[in-house]
Amino acid sequence: MKHISFLVVVLLVGCSSSWSDGPYEVYWIDGVKSLGFNVGDGAYIGRIDEPKSINANEKFISVYACPEQSCAYYYIDREKDHKFADATEFVFGPYTKESFVELQKKLILPELNE
């Protein structure tokens, strides 16, 4: 019985998201890690694939991600985002580190720890 309980706990931890803030969560589908908008019942609308570092404040989410083996910086404007919006309306990037640092200062984006 102890082994079954341990297995259930391991499975639940393995299925849970590693980062979440409001409707945003990191999730895995077919081995691809993505940051997405949780619309409920286990459904997500993808925003950025392969996030490595994420930080958020009330207005923005900063993301360092490596989709398709190409690493860059991105940010999401939370005030413009909603589950029916097209990602091109509020997901910005890719940016180089230098460009992103300038945007952090200008827009007060959350800092990233990569």
Instruction: Please write the tens of the pLDDT for every residue from 21-38.
Output: 999 999 999 999 999 999
Where do the structural domains in the chain lie, given as residue ranges? Answer: 17-107
The mean per-residue pLDDT over the stretch 44-66 comes to 97
CA 9 to chain centre: 24
**This model's pTM is above 0.85:** no
Distance CA 53, CA 93 (A): 15
pLDDT, position 17: 54
Under a CB-based contact definition with an 8 Å cutoff, are residues 73 and 64 in contact?
yes
